[in-house]
Amino acid sequence: MLDRLQAELKTSMLAKDAFKTGVLRMALAAYKNEAVAKGLGPQGALSEADTIAVFKRLVKSREDSVEQYAKAGHPDRAASEQAEIAILKPYLPAMLEGVQLEQAVRQAIAATGASSKKDLGLVMKSLHASAGGAFDGKAASQLIGALLN
């Protein structure tokens, strides 16, 4: 994924797309910061799961910003954040949603033998192990809570 990110950064720089270049540079910096934090150094390559986690954090941060800007009456800033999300989302795998997410949650509940909401963490851990980072944690948590009444 690092190669793809660097290639797209180079392409955006050659196209003189300042906005996309800025977003991709920020994403590359976040990637390298995570690599350093993991002890790999700035040239280290992150695992697929770590890379997905970095991009999920970047997208989540912008989604929160969109919400805050919309509440504060700044639609121009919200639109800018939304544009950044559109640039970052292609780096994420297809997310489990709807019926697929419910199926994965039910399998995780069955695998862990969870019976109450106290087992939420156990189920989330199992879901993360089986589905990787390809789901929205908030939606999964709410679904688990609803199924473990």
Query: Residue 102 above 80 pLDDT?
Result: yes
What CA–CA distance (Å, rounded) separates 110 from 32?
38
Query: Residue 94 above 80 pLDDT?
Result: no
CATH class in words for 98-147: mainly alpha
Query: Residue 29 above 80 pLDDT?
Result: yes
Determine the angle formed by the axes of helices 18-37 and 75-88, rounding to 10 degrees: 60
Burial label for 62, CB within 10 Å (0-12, 13-18, 19+), is buried
The pLDDT score that the predictor gives to residue 65 is 93
User: Contact at 8 Å (CB) between 143 and 101?
Assistant: yes
Interval 132-148 mean pLDDT: 79
The CATH topology of domain 2-91 is: Hypothetical Protein Yqey; Chain: A; domain1 (1.10.1510)
Q: Compute the residue count for the chain.
A: 149
Domain boundaries, the chain: 2-91, 98-147
Task: Summarize pLDDT for 34-71 with one digit per residue, the tens.
Answer: 989 888 887 888 888 788 888 889 998 999 999 999 99
Task: Summarize pLDDT for 103-114 with one digit per residue, the tens.
Answer: 888 888 888 887
Residue 87: other Cβ atoms inside 10 A? 21
Stronger pLDDT, 30 or 143, i.e. the higher one: 30
In the chain, how long is the greatest CA-to-CA distance? Answer: 56
The pLDDT score that the predictor gives to residue 124 is 84
